[in-house]
Amino acid sequence: MACVWKILLLSVFIVSGRSSTEMKGYFWHISDLHWDPSYNVESTSASKCASSGDRPTPNAGIFGDYSCDSPWSLINSTLNAMRDIMPHPDFIIWTGDDTPHVPDEQLGVEPVLRIISNLTHIIKTTFPNTKVYSAMGNHDYHPKNQMPPEKNNIYEQTANLWHNWLHATSKETFKIGGYYTEKLLNQTGLRVVVLNTNLYYDQNKLTENIKDPADQFSWADKVLQDAAKNNEKVYIIGHVPPGFFEKKRDKTWFRKEFNKRYIDLIQKHSAVIQGQFFGHHHTDSFRMFYSSKGSPISTMFLTPGVTPWMTTLPGVINGGNNPGIRMFEYDTKTLLIKDMFTYYMNLTYSNKAHERWEKEYRLTEAFRVADASPASMHRVMEQISSNKCYLQKYYEFNSVNYDLTECNADCRVDHVCAMREVDFEAYEKCVVKEGGSSIAPVLFTLLLSLMLSLLCLN
């Protein structure tokens, strides 16, 4: 492999640091692989893939294009890089979104299951002895986004594909609602809760008028209550995150009532929750959760996507990213996140020169904090908010070194408020306080101006 020496050099400081006397371990988090089986770099058409839509791809190469989802060569390269960097992680977190960004009529139940199956197979083949905790994404269903709050064929078949990763009790709840819980690596005192937050997605018509889809909130509340009674520490895993998308002002994913209920769940059980791990954005960011008194109590880590696909969401500028993967260092007794390492492929370079994965940054070095605890991540957020150098550093990390333009005043507001405030009302107040303008007041002003103009005409 062309990149092997680069990766080996990056691995030395990690592997050599492991000691049987230290309570630290490592795990991978990968998300948003979005494999596009139609990608064909040899194609003579203007576009090399179905996921580009009408966008031409003149610079498409062997590892992909920023207008396309992942070709198989990129998927394969990603898993090989993970194995070369850390071949024996304690476990892997995989937070979904496996199919390409194409219209529903170009997919179907069988193609969706086939894609999930192929990606499951390559992960199992690359890491045959590693436990994987996997959550479904909103693109892991047909039709996309429409996750039902009840038993269905895709939940059933996906549970069968993951049978080596799921305990018997996990399969039961997964087949009902796509969620489950297990002891982390079967260890007493450690637990993983895998949620199906696609049930709370505002594009999901099937859950629009349901207070607690698939009874997941009630179930999670009970699991976390039991965790407290049993002195367990917990990681929460999911795909669609609550709060706001940092690259578009006022863009949310959850319905309002679900967003509030999720925040309430985290605040109520923060004593046992040691980390939240989500994807969906394709970007590198995080979200802070605070107590009613304003103390940092939990952090949600948003891992960048493997797919370099540039979002078509209206209003988003430079919405692509370089393929990224993340490794966490954690305390194996307390689950405290001690550090995180992000690796990436510069897609342009790899297409033109040779395949190369490299370390992008290490959290504690880049932001000069002791660890990735909620208190430390609050400090990171405050540094980003108050220091232009840290803001720009974070902004370039956010797109995995794809968008290197300056993060201006409005950009700062969008990112800082998204990180700081997951609650809808608190976010709106943050935007105003930080010097931005929420879309709601802007629309009100435009409407008022229109009314005054009509009155003047009369």
Is 68 within 8 Å of 76 (Cβ atoms)? no
Is the model's pLDDT at 29 over the cut of 50? Answer: yes
Is the model's pLDDT at 114 over the cut of 90? Answer: yes
Average pLDDT, the chain: 92
pLDDT tens per residue, range 30-57? 999 999 999 999 999 999 999 999 899 9
- pLDDT of 54: 87
- Neighbouring C-beta atoms of residue 433, cutoff 10 Å: 11
Q: How are beta strands 296-302 and 131-134 bridged, if at all? A: unpaired
- Which CATH number is correct for 23-457, 3.30.70.3270, 3.30.420.10, 3.60.21.10, 3.40.50.880? 3.60.21.10
Is the model's pLDDT at 13 over the cut of 90? Answer: no
Q: How are beta strands 180-183 and 131-134 bridged, if at all? A: unpaired
Counting Cβ atoms within 10 Å, is residue 5 exposed (0-12), middle (13-18) or buried (19+)?
exposed
Residue 20 banded pLDDT, cuts 50, 70, 90: very low
Q: Can you tell me the distance from the alpha carbon of 169 to that of 191, in angstroms, rounded to the nearest whole number?
A: 14
Residue 259 makes CB contacts below 8 A (sequence gap 6+) with: 200, 242, 243, 252, 422, 423, 424
Can you state the angle between helices 256-268 and 424-433, rounded to 10 degrees?
90
Give the tokens for residue 120. 């499951």
Is the model's pLDDT at 72 over the cut of 70? Answer: yes
How much of the chain exceeds pLDDT 70, in percent? 90
Counting Cβ atoms within 10 Å, is residue 362 exposed (0-12), middle (13-18) or buried (19+)?
middle
Is the model's pLDDT at 448 over the cut of 90? Answer: no
β-bridge partners, 237: 194, 277
b/e sequence 396-413, b meaning 16+ C-beta within 10 Å: bbbbbbbbeeebeeebbb
How much of the chain exceeds pLDDT 90, in percent? 90
Q: Can you tell me the distance from the alpha carbon of 162 to that of 248, in angstroms, rounded to the nearest whole number?
A: 35
Q: Can you tell me the distance from the alpha carbon of 281 to that of 405, in angstroms, rounded to the nearest whole number?
A: 19
Is the model's pLDDT at 102 over the cut of 60? Answer: yes
Residue 3 banded pLDDT, cuts 50, 70, 90: very low
Q: Where are the domains of the chain?
A: 23-457
Strand order in the sheet with 285-290: 180-183, 190-194, 233-237, 273-278, 296-302, 285-290
Residue 437 banded pLDDT, cuts 50, 70, 90: low
3-state secondary structure the chain: CCCHHHHHHHHHHHHCCCCCCCCEEEEEEECCCCECCCCCCCCCCCCCCHHHCCCCCCCCECCECCCCCECHHHHHHHHHHHHHHCCCCCEEEECCCCCCCCCHHHCCHHHHHHHHHHHHHHHHHHCCCCEEEECCCCCCCCCCCCCCCCCCHHHHHHHHHCCCCCCHHHHHHHHHHCCEEEEHHHCCCEEEEECCHHHHECCCHHHCCCCCHHHHHHHHHHHHHHHHHCCCEEEEECCCCCCECCCCCCCECECHHHHHHHHHHHHHCCCCEEEEEECCCCCCEEEEEECCCCCEEEEEEECCCCCCCCCCCCCCCCCCCCCEEEEEEEECCCCCEEEEEEEEECHHHHHHCCCCEEEEEEHHHHHCCCCCCHHHHHHHHHHHHHCHHHHHHHHHHHCCCCCCCCCCHHHHHHHHHHHHCCCHHHHHHHHHHCCCCCHHHHHHHHHHHHHHHHHHHC
- pLDDT of 435: 84
Is the model's pLDDT at 337 over the cut of 90? Answer: yes
Q: Can you tell me the distance from the alpha carbon of 89 to that of 94, in angstroms, rounded to the nearest whole number?
A: 13
* Cis-peptide into 374, omega within 30 deg: no
Residue 436 banded pLDDT, cuts 50, 70, 90: low
Arithmetic mean of pLDDT, 284-305? 98
Is the model's pLDDT at 12 over the cut of 60? Answer: no
pLDDT tens per residue, range 123-176? 999 999 999 999 999 999 999 999 999 999 999 999 999 999 999 999 999 999
Is the model's pLDDT at 441 over the cut of 90? Answer: no
Arithmetic mean of pLDDT, 340-368? 98
